[in-house]
Amino acid sequence: MSMQITWDERFEAAIAECLPDGVVADGLEPDVSLVDLGLDSISMINLAARLEEEYELALPDDLVSFTTFATPAVLWETIRELRAQP
Protein backbone atom coordinates (compact mmCIF):
# COMPACT_ATOMS: atom_id res chain seq x y z
CA MET A 1 0.00 0.00 0.00
CA SER A 2 1.57 3.25 -1.13
CA MET A 3 1.17 6.44 0.88
CA GLN A 4 -0.29 9.51 -0.79
CA ILE A 5 2.39 12.18 -0.57
CA THR A 6 2.95 15.01 -3.00
CA TRP A 7 6.34 16.56 -3.53
CA ASP A 8 7.60 18.80 -6.29
CA GLU A 9 9.53 17.65 -9.33
CA ARG A 10 12.75 19.22 -8.01
CA PHE A 11 12.74 16.76 -5.11
CA GLU A 12 12.35 13.70 -7.31
CA ALA A 13 14.93 15.02 -9.77
CA ALA A 14 17.47 15.52 -6.97
CA ILE A 15 16.96 11.94 -5.77
CA ALA A 16 17.22 10.59 -9.31
CA GLU A 17 20.50 12.48 -9.81
CA CYS A 18 22.06 10.90 -6.72
CA LEU A 19 20.99 7.30 -7.30
CA PRO A 20 22.22 4.86 -9.96
CA ASP A 21 20.97 5.68 -13.45
CA GLY A 22 17.46 4.53 -14.22
CA VAL A 23 16.30 3.33 -10.81
CA VAL A 24 13.57 6.00 -10.63
CA ALA A 25 12.76 6.06 -14.34
CA ASP A 26 9.14 5.08 -13.67
CA GLY A 27 8.67 7.51 -10.79
CA LEU A 28 9.42 7.31 -7.13
CA GLU A 29 7.17 5.55 -4.63
CA PRO A 30 6.94 7.35 -1.27
CA ASP A 31 7.63 4.28 0.84
CA VAL A 32 10.42 2.63 -1.17
CA SER A 33 13.74 2.13 0.62
CA LEU A 34 16.32 4.53 -0.79
CA VAL A 35 19.06 2.11 0.29
CA ASP A 36 17.38 -0.60 -1.78
CA LEU A 37 17.51 1.82 -4.74
CA GLY A 38 21.26 2.24 -4.29
CA LEU A 39 21.67 5.05 -1.74
CA ASP A 40 24.95 4.72 0.11
CA SER A 41 26.80 7.09 2.44
CA ILE A 42 28.47 9.00 -0.41
CA SER A 43 25.26 9.43 -2.40
CA MET A 44 23.45 10.44 0.80
CA ILE A 45 25.96 13.27 1.34
CA ASN A 46 25.59 14.29 -2.31
CA LEU A 47 21.81 14.22 -2.06
CA ALA A 48 21.87 16.26 1.16
CA ALA A 49 24.02 18.91 -0.54
CA ARG A 50 21.79 18.88 -3.62
CA LEU A 51 18.65 19.36 -1.52
CA GLU A 52 20.26 22.14 0.53
CA GLU A 53 21.12 23.96 -2.67
CA GLU A 54 17.76 23.34 -4.35
CA TYR A 55 15.65 24.44 -1.39
CA GLU A 56 18.07 27.00 0.09
CA LEU A 57 18.14 25.39 3.52
CA ALA A 58 20.64 23.74 5.82
CA LEU A 59 20.21 20.14 6.86
CA PRO A 60 21.57 19.81 10.40
CA ASP A 61 24.31 17.17 10.61
CA ASP A 62 22.18 14.95 12.84
CA LEU A 63 19.56 14.75 10.07
CA VAL A 64 22.04 13.53 7.47
CA SER A 65 21.45 9.91 8.43
CA PHE A 66 19.99 6.75 7.00
CA THR A 67 16.98 7.32 9.27
CA THR A 68 16.15 10.64 7.61
CA PHE A 69 17.01 9.27 4.16
CA ALA A 70 15.14 5.97 4.69
CA THR A 71 12.36 6.64 2.18
CA PRO A 72 11.32 9.53 -0.05
CA ALA A 73 8.34 10.14 2.25
CA VAL A 74 10.49 10.51 5.37
CA LEU A 75 12.99 12.69 3.54
CA TRP A 76 10.30 14.92 2.00
CA GLU A 77 8.65 15.42 5.39
CA THR A 78 12.03 16.52 6.80
CA ILE A 79 12.55 18.97 3.92
CA ARG A 80 8.99 20.26 4.28
CA GLU A 81 9.47 20.86 8.01
CA LEU A 82 12.78 22.66 7.48
CA ARG A 83 11.25 24.87 4.80
CA ALA A 84 8.39 25.81 7.17
CA GLN A 85 10.77 27.12 9.83
CA PRO A 86 11.19 30.89 9.99
Give the model confidence (pLDDT) of 5-37 as tens digits.
789 999 999 999 999 988 887 789 999 999 999
pTM: 0.90
CA distance to 35, 41, 47, 58, 63, per residue, from 81 (Å): 22, 23, 17, 12, 12
Q: What is the DSSP letter of 32?
A: S
Q: Give the residue extent of every domain in the chain.
A: 9-84
CATH of domain 9-84: 1.10.1200.10
Give the integer Cα–Cα distance in Å for 14 and 16: 5
Give the model confidence (pLDDT) of 40-79 as tens digits.
999 999 999 999 999 999 999 999 999 999 999 999 999 9
List, in sequence order, the alpha helices (H) in 1-40. 9-18
